[in-house]
Structures are given as C-alpha cells and as structure tokens.
Copies of this chain bind each other. A is one copy, B any other.
C-alpha cells in the first residue's frame, strides 16, 4: 500500500475560548540579539498567531526554541535569538491555548489513540522493539518523498566506516533518495580517505586490516584536498573518484558540513563558525519533509532543534515532517525525546546494517 500524506486537521477557531482570544502582542527588540521580556519561544508544533478579527496566521518556517518576529508587511518570521535586530517586533506570551493570542496546535495530524490499560508490557522503545514495520514504512515514505518531498540526511562518520554501508549511501544518492546532507568534517574526511586509501581512520573499510602508517591517511586526505582548493576541484581533477561526497557532487546535491572542535584540517567546505553553520543547515532543514539522522548525536540534536514537526507546502497544504533517528543506544534516542523532539521515531541498530537494509529494500522496488 502506497504512502499517503495524513490529512492536516486545522484548529477549530470557532471553538471557545478561541473566538474570544486576544490579539497576539508584540514588543520591540531594544538591543540586537536580546529578546524582550516574556517573549514567546516556538515549539515543534504548528503555531497560530491571532493578528486580529479572528485572523489566525500559521508560522511557515518554524523551528524549536526560536522567537517570532513580525516583518513590517505583517508576515511572521521565526528567528534565532542572536539574529534579532534592534527595533524588530517580537511576539510575547507563554500561554499555548490562545489566552495570549497564540495557539500551539498539538493535534495536527490524525492518529489512532493508544490502547490504554491498567497494566501493560513494553511501553518503552528499546533495542528489542520490533523494527520490521519501520523499514517497510520507510520504503513507502521514501518512495513518496523521492518524487514529492525533500529527503534530508544527517550522517555521522560511522556511516562511511564500512564498505557496504558507504556503497549503500552512494546507491541511495544515485537513486534519488537523498536530497541534501547535513554532516561534519569527519564524515567527509573519512569518506575521502576511503576514496583515496580504502581506509577509515587508517583501517581498511572492508578487510579491517590496519594499514601501515594508516594514521596518516585522514591527514593526507585533508592535505590533498586543501591543496586542490576544494572537494569540488578534487573531484573535477579526478583525485576523488568515488564515495558519498563524490556522489553528491555528481548529482549536484546540497550539503552542509558544520565544523566542530574535534576537527582536523578542516576541509575547505567546512563552515567553521557554528552560527553560520546553523544558518546554512536551516536553509536545508526549511526544505526538508523527511529527515533521516544516522549515528550522530551532535548533528541529530542540532537538526532536531532546527526542524518543526510540520511543513507548509507552497500551495498552502500542511504536512508532517518525518524524523528518524538511527542509533545504537537508548540513551541517544531518548536524548532527542528529552530535548522536546517528541515526534522523532527511533530505530535502534547499527548504522551500517540500517543503510544496507534500506538500500536493498528501496532498490527492489
């Protein structure tokens, strides 16, 4: 059965007390980068702002923990605190039920109510949870999104530490199941190391043999690409001939490599200022309709912060954003839940096996 988007159920603004809700209030930014007292912070849910006379406006490109600024022409923008400019008007109020003109809509997409019993087993997701259905749903979802959405991947370096999973990623890219990538320096470096030396951190990505002087490989990869000037040039000149970054380059797909203090090098394409990196990431997350975050706590949480649970399509339709987290530990999965990204679905397994299974399932379609 093919995937169909669940219907969006807008709030009923005719249902009390919403008809009596006041107009949302705004206050000016007095100092750039500082919000006025009692600012409202955004959640992952669709949020509506009462701008008067029963006119409720839905935030278009939201994120978690942003602030809402009213542009001069009246539209609402979600901004990070550090982007606030003196004089901008910021929405106020922390009530979520319209009492301050803001309605946080948590019941946006229909879902079957859970079975409720006094006594039940298995209320928690763990490594022992069944995941077959998640794969099957992903096949359906990604087939739909390939044509109709924007599939954003978030990858930790372990995704390219293994030959088969690296190849699976390359195949997914060429098949059209990857529309953008968020990662760090390490993912790219070790992917390039794989292209140049068939190793990751000095260990062969298939045979697992430690390579002689293998601890130079990632440094040599960095130095060679830095000498070339960019990854793109390293690919144009044939220095790099395979791998994930090469496939993205071939398919001309956008990516953001965000810097971290762990980085060697870094690669020329890495954005070393984390705030600029966040801006670049948000340029991609604002297009994403499905996110698949694999084996990276840092990038998963960063992406989770930037992505709301819904997306307003150009024609005005509201649809959910799907967010999958693939990790080995319950701790990592719960970390995202504990950060408020409640809508994330977790698959607890090894990144390599996940990628191999997913690619095989999608390739058979």
Residues of A bordering B, CB below 8 Å: 31, 33-35, 39, 41, 43-45, 65, 80-82, 94, 96, 104, 106, 114-115, 117-124, 126-133, 135, 157-158, 161-165, 200-216, 219, 222-223, 226-227, 258-266, 272-275, 277-278, 281, 295, 297-299, 301-302, 305, 328-331, 334-335, 337-340, 342, 348-350, 352-354, 356-357, 360
Contact = CB atoms under 8 A, between A and B. Distances in A.
A260 to B, nearest CB: 6
B216 A41 contact: yes
B127 A201 contact: no
Contacts of A356: 357
Contacts of A161: 128-130
A123 B338 contact: yes
Nearest to A226: B34
A203 to B, nearest CB: 5
Given A340-B215, A352-B130, A262 B301 contact: yes
Given A80-B264, A128-B157, A259-B273, 17 more contacts: A104-B118, A115-B212, A117-B212, A120-B202, A120-B340, A121-B215, A121-B340, A128-B161, A130-B161, A130-B206, A131-B353, A132-B162, A215-B340, A261-B274, A261-B278, A261-B302, A330-B331
11 contacts: A80-B264, A94-B216, A117-B212, A126-B335, A258-B261, A261-B299, A262-B301, A297-B297, A328-B331, A349-B350, A353-B354
Contact of A272 (B275, B281, B352): B275
Q: Sorted from nearest, which 8 A-B pairs have the closest CB atoms?
A: A349-B350, A132-B164, A353-B353, A130-B162, A261-B302, A259-B274, A330-B330, A128-B158
Given A202-B122, A273-B272, A331-B127, A305 B219 contact: no
Nearest to A268: B33
B213 A122 contact: no
Contact of A210 (B96, B115, B258, B273): B115
- Counted per complex, copies of this chain come to 4
Contacts of A278: 261, 263
A79 B114 CA distance: 32
A223 B81 contact: yes
Given A162-B132, A210-B115, A264-B81, A338 B122 contact: yes
A114 B210 contact: yes
A127 B82 contact: no
Nearest to A185: B274
B124 A338 contact: yes
Nearest to A115: B210
A211 B31 CA distance: 29
A273 B258 CA distance: 10
B121 A214 contact: yes
A96 B278 CA distance: 41
Contact of A119 (B81, B104, B128): B104
Contacts of A331: 126-127, 328-330
Nearest to A43: B119
Given A260-B298, A260-B302, A350 B352 contact: no
B223 A126 contact: no
B219 A65 contact: yes
B106 A352 contact: no
B265 A81 contact: yes
